[in-house]
Structure 1
Amino acid sequence: MTTGFFWDERSMWHAGGNYAFTLPIGGLVQPMAAGGLPESPETKRRLVNLMNVTGLMREMDVRTAPEATTEDLLRVHPKNYLDTFKQMSDNGGGELGLRVPFARGGYELAALSAGLSIAAVDAVLTGNVQNAYALSRPPGHHCLPDFPNGFCLMANIAIAIEAAKAKGLIGRVAVLDWDVHHGNGTEAIFYDRDDVLTISFHQEGNYPLDTGALADRGKGAGTGYNINLPLPAGAGHTAYLHAMDHVAVPAIRDFAPDIIIIACGYDASAVDPLARMLATADTYRQMTLKIKNLAAELCDGKLVLVHEGGYSEAYVPFCAHAAVEALSGSDIVAADPFGQTFISRQPGERLDAFLIGEIDRMAKELAL
Structure 2
Amino acid sequence: MAPALSVRRVALVHEEDYFWHESRVDFGPWVEGDAQFETPEPRRRLLQLLQRTGLADRCVRVRASELTDDDLVRVHTPAYVARIRAADLTGGEAGESAPFGPGSFSIARRSAGGVHAAVASVLDGTTDCGFALVRPPGHHAEVDRGRGFCIFANIAVAIEKARVSAGAAPVRVAVVDWDVHHGNGSQSIYYDDADTLTVSIHQSGLYPKDSGRIEEVGGPAAPGTNINIPLPPGSGEGAYLYAWDTVIAPAVTAFKPDLIVVACGFDASQLDPSGRMLLTAGSFAALTARALDLAGSLCNGRLVLAQEGGYSPIYVPLCGAAVVSSLLGIESLDDPLSGIGGTEQQPLQEHQREIVDRAAQVHQLA
TM-score w.r.t. length of structure 2: 0.93
Of 84, 103, 106, 1:105 maps to 103
Write the distance in 2 (CA, Å) between the matches of 1:255 and 1:66: 28
| Structure 1 pair 354–39 and aligned structure 2 pair: CA distance change class (3 A) | same
| Structure 1 pair 247–19 and aligned structure 2 pair: CA distance change class (3 A) | same
Cα distance, 1:325 vs structure 2: 0.8
Write the distance in 1 (CA, Å) between the matches of 2:344 and 2:276: 12
Q: Which residue number corresponds to residue 306 of structure 2?
A: 306
Write the distance in 1 (CA, Å) between the matches of 2:134 and 2:344: 31
Q: Which residue number corresponds to residue 230 of structure 2?
A: 230
Write the distance in 2 (CA, Å) between the matches of 1:72 and 1:355: 40
Question: 2:235 is paired with a residue of what secondary structure?
Answer: coil
Q: Specify the code of the residue in structure 2 equivalent to 1:61.
A: V
Cα distance, 1:119 vs structure 2: 0.7
Q: In 2, are the aligned partners of 1:213 and 1:230 still within 8 Å (CA)?
A: yes
Write the distance in 1 (CA, Å) between the matches of 2:65 and 2:340: 43
Cα distance, 1:13 vs structure 2: 0.6
Residue-by-residue CA offset, 1:54-106 (whole Å, 9 max, x unaligned)? 1111101012224321111110111111111111112x111131111111111
Question: 1:245 is paired with a residue of what secondary structure?
Answer: helix
Q: In 1, are the aligned partners of 2:11 and 2:127 still within 8 Å (CA)?
A: yes
Q: Specify the code of the residue in structure 2 equivalent to 1:355.
A: Q
Q: In 2, are the aligned partners of 1:140 and 1:155 still within 8 Å (CA)?
A: yes
Q: How does 1:182-261 map to 2 (within 5 A)?
A: 182-261=182-261
Of 147, 156, 159, 1:158 maps to 156
Cα distance, 1:258 vs structure 2: 0.3
Write the distance in 1 (CA, Å) between the matches of 2:66 and 2:171: 24
| Structure 1 pair 236–67 and aligned structure 2 pair: CA distance change class (3 A) | same
Write the distance in 2 (CA, Å) between the matches of 1:101 and 1:289: 35
Q: Specify the code of the residue in structure 2 equivalent to 1:115.
A: G
Cα distance, 1:355 vs structure 2: 1.6
Residue-by-residue CA offset, 1:232-271 (whole Å, 9 max, x unaligned)? 1111011101011001100000001001000000111011
Aligned residue pairs total 351
Q: Specify the code of the residue in structure 2 equivalent to 1:256.
A: K
Cα distance, 1:275 vs structure 2: 0.7
Cα distance, 1:18 vs structure 2: 7.3
Q: Specify the code of the residue in structure 1 equivalent to 2:311.
A: Y
Q: Specify the code of the residue in structure 2 equivalent to 1:54.
A: T
Write the distance in 1 (CA, Å) between the matches of 2:341 and 2:126: 39
Q: Which residue number corresponds to residue 146 of structure 1?
A: 144
Question: 1:139 is paired with a residue of what secondary structure?
Answer: coil
Write the distance in 2 (CA, Å) between the matches of 1:249 and 1:204: 21
Q: Which residue number corresponds to residue 16 of structure 2?
A: 9
Larger CA deviation: 71-80 vs 152-161: 71-80
Q: In 2, are the aligned partners of 1:193 and 1:220 still within 8 Å (CA)?
A: no
Cα distance, 1:189 vs structure 2: 0.5
Runs of 4+ in structure 1 displaced over 6 angstroms?
none
Write the distance in 2 (CA, Å) between the matches of 1:277 and 1:17: 26
Residue-by-residue CA offset, 1:9-56 (whole Å, 9 max, x unaligned)? 111110025749xxxxxxxxxxxxx97232011111111111112111
| Structure 1 pair 323–344 and aligned structure 2 pair: CA distance change class (3 A) | farther
Residue-by-residue CA offset, 1:106-145 (whole Å, 9 max, x unaligned)? 1000011011011110110111111011011000000001
Q: Structure 1 residue 264 and structure 2 residue 264: aligned?
A: yes
Q: How does 1:314-325 map to 2 (within 5 A)?
A: 314-325=314-325
Of 120, 129, 132, 1:131 maps to 129
Q: Structure 1 residue 361 and structure 2 residue 352: aligned?
A: no
Q: In 1, are the aligned partners of 2:25 and 2:36 still within 8 Å (CA)?
A: no
Q: How does 1:58-73 map to 2 (within 5 A)?
A: 58-73=57-72
Q: In 2, are the aligned partners of 1:133 and 1:306 still within 8 Å (CA)?
A: yes
Write the distance in 2 (CA, Å) between the matches of 1:18 and 1:8: 24
Question: Please, what is the CA RMSD of the aligned residues?
Answer: 1.6
What is the percentage of aligned positions where both structures have the same residue? Answer: 43
TM-score w.r.t. length of structure 1: 0.92
Q: In 1, are the aligned partners of 2:176 and 2:262 still within 8 Å (CA)?
A: yes
| Structure 1 pair 344–36 and aligned structure 2 pair: CA distance change class (3 A) | closer
Name structure 1 gaps, 5 residues minimum: 21-33
Name structure 2 gaps, 5 residues minimum: 1-7, 28-32
Question: 1:357 is paired with a residue of what secondary structure?
Answer: helix
Write the distance in 2 (CA, Å) between the matches of 1:291 and 1:16: 31
Question: 1:116 is paired with a residue of what secondary structure?
Answer: helix
Q: In 2, are the aligned partners of 1:204 and 1:233 still within 8 Å (CA)?
A: yes
Q: In 2, are the aligned partners of 1:236 and 1:346 still within 8 Å (CA)?
A: no
Q: Which residue number corresponds to residue 92 of structure 2?
A: 94
Q: Which residue number corresponds to residue 334 of structure 2?
A: 335
Q: Which residue number corresponds to residue 26 of structure 1?
A: none
Q: In 2, are the aligned partners of 1:267 and 1:274 still within 8 Å (CA)?
A: yes
